[in-house]
Amino acid sequence: MPEPAKAIAFVLKGYPRLSETFIAQEILALERCGVPIVIYSLRHPTDAKAHPIHGEISAPVLYLPEYVRDDPMRVLRGWRGARRLPGYAGALRIWLRDLRRDPTPNRARRFAQALVLANEMAVGLRHLHAHFLHTPGSVARYAAIMRGHDWSFSAHAKDIWTTPAWELREKLADCAWGVSCTAAGTDYLNGLNTASGRSKVALVYHGLDLSRFPAPARNPSRRDGCAADAAVRLISIGRAVTKKGFDILLRALALLPAELHWRLQHLGGGPELATLKALADSLGLKGRISWDGPADQAAVLDALSRSDLFVLACRVAPDGDRDGIPNVLMEAASQELACVTAALPGISEFVIQDETGLLCPPEDIRAFADALAQLIRDPMRRAHLGRQGRERLHSRFQMQHMIDRLAERFSQTDSKAA
């Protein structure tokens, strides 16, 4: 009888999180492929809700102290245990070198969390995998070096584009392998990894678990914006943060012709929500937008199934942060909703201009308004783009195709550690 697979330590920034369904679906799918996982979270949950999928995951969850002050004795025990590990001196040297270039409290917290992780890791764990290459990647890297284990990562968006190049290069040199969820991110990371002479990072899209997003049980809407009692139903989903471009969307909506009848539903929380509501009121949009807050996956699916058009005006934030392929675009496509969104590199890998949606130049308010007006007025075109979007989702972005690749990676990792 073959030996059972050894468990993988998944290092996450926070768990569970409403905005990271792609991580939850990946963990559950890997478990169903026979990959045992132990979750180490750097933060306790901050969302008031959780998705049903979180209740299906069997992986144990252990929370590291987010701040040293939260549990100084646990950090002290971590240091006492970790300093006896074979790689402690090497990890300390690397961290001190990182700290000189990044002298921040956050960098100190990362090492404290790594001490606790390295000290408390179960004996059977032989590999660490970080979701996001910035903070979780640092904690996984330091702990893996202390214990003499390999580590890998899944890189997404903010962690790629806001992390200094020197830090990415050194992490790429240390890790066993990595994956990224966009071709743009994959190419950028492999371009930085010049020391090893090989491409360590593979493209693995998140994909969508279509068993949770069945085809819509409805006929396409005929609403065309002409009747006040049959307004076209727009929907946008995402945290109210700069990179999502909700201010762009609001200003574009304010430019729409007065005779067009529409309503917008927004789902999501975020720090800029109050500012956006005030902006909407100042633009004369009060009464046409419902701000419905964070929602679990069931509520998201219900809202999408009652909508006519999905809109998301993403941008590159001043600090370089940007989206990869927002999962909500795939979720909208699952319900045959056409999308109006921004022509950013990652997004353009999923949404094809005038085939599955309309792409607008980032920050171009007038272009967004024109695209919205076109599709509000044309239900037949919306329906065609929506059908094409679902077909693309089925053919190129089904989750199971991606999970098989990840499960194979972890299987190879396990055989090396045996």
Cβ atoms of 179 and 199 closer than 8 Å? no
In the chain, domain spans: 8-207+398-417, 228-396
Please state, as a whole number, how many other Cβ atoms lie within 10 Å of the Cβ of residue 74: 17
**CA 343, chain centre distance (Å):** 18
Is 228-396 CATH 2.60.120.260?
A: no
Distances (CA, A) of 179 to 21, 36, 193, 327, 417: 17, 19, 13, 17, 20
How many whole angstroms separate alpha carbon 224 and alpha carbon 233? 10
pLDDT score for 18? 86
Low-confidence ranges of the chain (pLDDT < 70): 1-5, 195-197, 414-418
- For residue 358 the two structure tokens come to 């309309």
pLDDT score for 3? 36
Cβ atoms of 92 and 49 closer than 8 Å? no
Provide the edge-to-edge strand list for the sheet that holds 127-131.
61-63, 37-41, 8-12, 127-131, 150-155, 177-180, 201-203
How many residues in the chain? 418
- For residue 354 the two structure tokens come to 């005038």
Q: Which CATH architecture does the domain made up of 8-207+398-417 adopt?
A: 3-Layer(aba) Sandwich (3.40)
Fold match between domain 8-207+398-417 and domain 228-396:
yes
Cβ atoms of 334 and 390 closer than 8 Å? yes
Residue 360 burial by CB count (10 A; 0-12/13-18/19+): exposed, middle or buried? buried
pLDDT score for 418? 47
Residue 11 backbone phi and psi in degrees, to 5: -100, 115
Q: What is the DSSP letter of 180?
A: E
Cβ atoms of 130 and 154 closer than 8 Å? yes
Query: Is-above-0.75 flag for pTM?
Result: yes
**CA 297, chain centre distance (Å):** 15
pLDDT score for 123? 79
pLDDT score for 311? 98
Cβ atoms of 336 and 216 closer than 8 Å? yes
What pairing do the DSSP bridges indicate for beta strands 232-237 and 289-291?
unpaired
